[in-house]
Structure 1
C-alpha cells in the first residue's frame, strides 16, 4: 500500500515555488501547509498548491497534524533559526535550501543541530542532480583516469529580484561566493573526493546593481569572481563566475582532466530566458576527450520538457526531491548532509576573505573536531 507524503513549505519565493511544482510532479505527495509572509508570494504559491492550508507562522505550520516533512526555502539569514525552531518544536525530516548558513559564528548552532537532530536534514544542492552533471560525475574516473584539474565556469544572468531585495546585499545573503557559489564548492568536494586546504580568490562588483537603491543603500553584492582551490590529495579546482553574461549559449561549463583524458559538461540556462528568435533552447551535452585515441565523443543529455518547465535548474530539483522523499520514507540515507552544507559555506566564506584581503586562506575543514571545540 502506498503512503502519501505530506509537505510543509516555509518560504514560497522563486525557489520555494520551484520546489512546489516539482513536489507536485512526484506520485503520492501532497502540499499540506504553506508559511509565506509576503502576500504576493503567498497568492502565487496558492495557485500552484490550492490544496494547501496557508499558515501565519512557522509554529502554526508545525501544528499541522498531517505533516511528514518540511522544506525551508526562506531567505538565507533565516535558515539556521528556522532549523532551530523545528528542533525545539517538532523535528520533522527537512530539506533546507542552500546556503545552510551565512556567518561563521553560526557554526556552533549548526553543530548542536547536527549532533542532536533526530530526523534527516538534507541540504538542497540542486546542481548535483542536473542530468548532465550527474552523468559527468558518474563518468569522471573512467574518462580522466583520476581527476587532477577541475574547472567550473558559470556565465549567467544577474541576481533576480527577491522580496525586500535581500539578495542584493552581503549582510543578508552571505555574499555572492556563499549565496551563489556554495553549489560549486560542493561540486568540487564531490568530484575530487578530498578536502580543500587553500583558497585564493579575486572578485568584485563590476556591472550589476550599481544604479539601484533600496532604503537609501546601494547594493554591494559581487557579480564576478575567480576562485582557485587546492585540495589535500594534490588536485586543484577553479571557479570562474560572471553574472553579466546571460547571452552565452551554456550557463554552466564544467571540465575535469586527468592522465587519461578530459570530460566536460555543458548545461544550458533556464529555457524561459532563451530568446524565441533563436529557435529551440540548446540541449545539455557531455563530451569525453581521451588522449589516446584522440577525438572527442559528444553525448546529448536531453531533459524531460515537463521537468524543464517546472524550474530553472535543468530538471535537478525533481530528481533531488525523488531522493529526499525516499529519505523521508526511510528508503535511503541523506546524500547532502549538514556537514556537506557547512563545508561548502566555509569554502565560500574563505574565498570572500581571500578576495577582500588579497591573500590565500588556509583551510582545515575537520568539521566535527572544530564543532566539538565550539560547543565545549
Structure 2
C-alpha cells in the first residue's frame, strides 16, 4: 500500500517532514495546504508532485490522499483535528503539542472518544537513535531507574512565519512548546504517570529587545523542572536556550542501583561550525558500579537520513512507524493520551514556575480521569 500524504502546514518543520517522506519506501505527498506564499514555494520544490490546495478541507477531501500530516502552528492543531474529524477521518500524524490552552482538554477527550482512525502524536525525540538506545538499555544498565536527568542547552527559538513562536498565547509557553518532548520521554522511561511537578523558569536573555506590533515576546528561555512519578522515580529537566556552544545539545542520564547510562545528542549539523571539522557523533555511555569502567558506544546516523532534518534522524524513523500504522500493521506508538500527558506536564510546570508552588498532578485539572 502506497502512503499518499495530505500535508497541513509546510513551514520549517513541515519541510523537514517532506524531506523525510521522500526517503520512505512507497510514500509520496499528494496535496499540501500552506497559506504563506514563501513557504508554499519552498514546499513545491521539495514535493513537486503535490497539488497545492487552498484550504485544509480541500486537502482532506482530495481523493488521492489516504493519510494526513499536521505541521501547522501549535494553537491550530486541535481545531484542525476537529475539522478533519467532521470531514473525513483519515490516519493522522500530528505535530506536538496537541493543544495549548488548558481549557481545551475536554475537547481533546471528545476527539479521542469519537475519532475512528489512528492518530499518532509526533514526539520525534523518542526516535533519535542514541535516545532510543538509552530507552532500550536503561533498565538493564541501571538495575531499575531511580533518577533521570535531561539537559538541553540549545539555540534560541528560530524565526517562524508571522513570529507566532514568540508569544505564550500561541505556543502554550516554552515548557509546552519545546519541552513536551522531554516530559514525554520522562513518562515513557518511567513507565508510569507523574504525580507532582515543581519548576523555576523565566526569560533571562532571548528576544527581550524584539518588538512585534509593539509587544515584547514573553516566551521563556531557561528552566529547571523536577517531576515525581508514581513509582518513586524522580526526573529533572534543565533547559537553557542561550548556550548552544557545547559539543552536545542534549544529555540524558538514567541512574539506578547497578549503574548509570547516558546518551549525548549533537544539535543540527547545519549549525556546527565548519572550522571545527566534522560534527560530533552521538554517543551512549554505560557506567556500571561494579566493575567500574565506563563503556562508550558511538551511535552514528545514516548521513542521508541525518541530512534530511534537524532532529538526528528521528523524523525518518517516526515516519517509518507511522507508515506501518497506516498499513494496518501496528497501532500508534504515541497516543492521544501520551500527547495529552506531555502537554499537561508542561502546563503544570508553567503553573509551578509562575506561582512558586508545587503542582499536584493527581487532581483536576491535570488528573487524566477528569479530562480524558
TM-score range, shorter chain: over 0.9
Q: Is the CA contact (8 Å cut-off) linking 2:7 and 2:33 kept in structure 1?
A: yes
155, 169, 172: which one pairs with 1:171? 169
Q: Is the CA contact (8 Å cut-off) linking 2:361 and 2:367 kept in structure 1?
A: no
SS at match of 2:254: strand
Equivalent-residue separation in structure 2 for 1:293 and 1:361 (angstroms): 40
Equivalent-residue separation in structure 2 for 1:334 and 1:307 (angstroms): 22
Tell me the residue number matched to 1:329: 327
Equivalent-residue separation in structure 1 for 2:367 and 2:155 (angstroms): 35
Equivalent-residue separation in structure 2 for 1:262 and 1:57 (angstroms): 50
236, 239, 259: which one pairs with 2:237? 239
1:100 to 2:82 alignment: no
1:371 to 2:367 alignment: no
SS at match of 1:79: helix
SS at match of 1:199: strand
Equivalent-residue separation in structure 2 for 1:248 and 1:47 (angstroms): 34
* Deviation of the 1:366 alpha carbon: 4.5
Computed over aligned residues only, the root mean square deviation of the Cα atoms, in angstroms, reads: 0.7
* Structure 1 residues 64-116: Cα deviation after superposition (integer angstroms, max 9, x where no partner): 10111000000000000000011000100000000111111111111011011
Equivalent-residue separation in structure 2 for 1:344 and 1:59 (angstroms): 28
1:55 to 2:53 alignment: yes
Equivalent-residue separation in structure 2 for 1:57 and 1:158 (angstroms): 31
SS at match of 1:122: strand
* Deviation of the 1:271 alpha carbon: 0.1
Equivalent-residue separation in structure 2 for 1:322 and 1:189 (angstroms): 23
1:306 to 2:304 alignment: yes
List alignment gaps of at least 5 residues for structure 2: none
64, 68, 71: which one pairs with 2:69? 71
Q: Is the CA contact (8 Å cut-off) linking 2:195 and 2:360 kept in structure 1?
A: yes
1:348 to 2:332 alignment: no
SS at match of 1:86: helix
Equivalent-residue separation in structure 2 for 1:237 and 1:191 (angstroms): 10
38, 41, 53: which one pairs with 2:39? 41
Equivalent-residue separation in structure 1 for 2:356 and 2:27 (angstroms): 49
* Deviation of the 1:317 alpha carbon: 0.2
Q: What are the residue-to-residue correspondences of 1:106-125 with 2, within 5 Å?
A: 106-125=104-123
List alignment gaps of at least 5 residues for structure 1: none
* Deviation of the 1:17 alpha carbon: 0.6
Tell me the residue number matched to 2:206: 208
1:5 to 2:21 alignment: no
Tell me the residue number matched to 1:90: 88
Equivalent-residue separation in structure 1 for 2:180 and 2:371 (angstroms): 20
Tell me the residue number matched to 1:192: 190
Equivalent-residue separation in structure 2 for 1:323 and 1:271 (angstroms): 24
* Deviation of the 1:371 alpha carbon: 2.6
Tell me the residue number matched to 1:27: 25
* Structure 1 residues 127-160: Cα deviation after superposition (integer angstroms, max 9, x where no partner): 0000000000000111000000000000000000
SS at match of 1:25: coil
1:162 to 2:196 alignment: no
Equivalent-residue separation in structure 1 for 2:75 and 2:65 (angstroms): 25
* Deviation of the 1:220 alpha carbon: 0.5
Equivalent-residue separation in structure 2 for 1:43 and 1:217 (angstroms): 30
TM-score (norm 2): 0.98
Equivalent-residue separation in structure 2 for 1:371 and 1:168 (angstroms): 28
Hey, which bits of structure 1, 4+ residues long, moved more than 6 A?
A: none
Tell me the residue number matched to 2:222: 224
Equivalent-residue separation in structure 1 for 2:60 and 2:100 (angstroms): 25
* Deviation of the 1:62 alpha carbon: 1.3
TM-score (norm 1): 0.97
282, 289, 292: which one pairs with 1:291? 289
Equivalent-residue separation in structure 2 for 1:30 and 1:147 (angstroms): 41
Equivalent-residue separation in structure 2 for 1:215 and 1:307 (angstroms): 39
* Structure 1 residues 201-242: Cα deviation after superposition (integer angstroms, max 9, x where no partner): 000101100111111111000000000011111110000000
Q: What are the residue-to-residue correspondences of 1:123-162 with 2, within 5 Å?
A: 123-162=121-160
SS at match of 2:22: helix
Tell me the residue number matched to 1:270: 268
Tell me the residue number matched to 1:315: 313
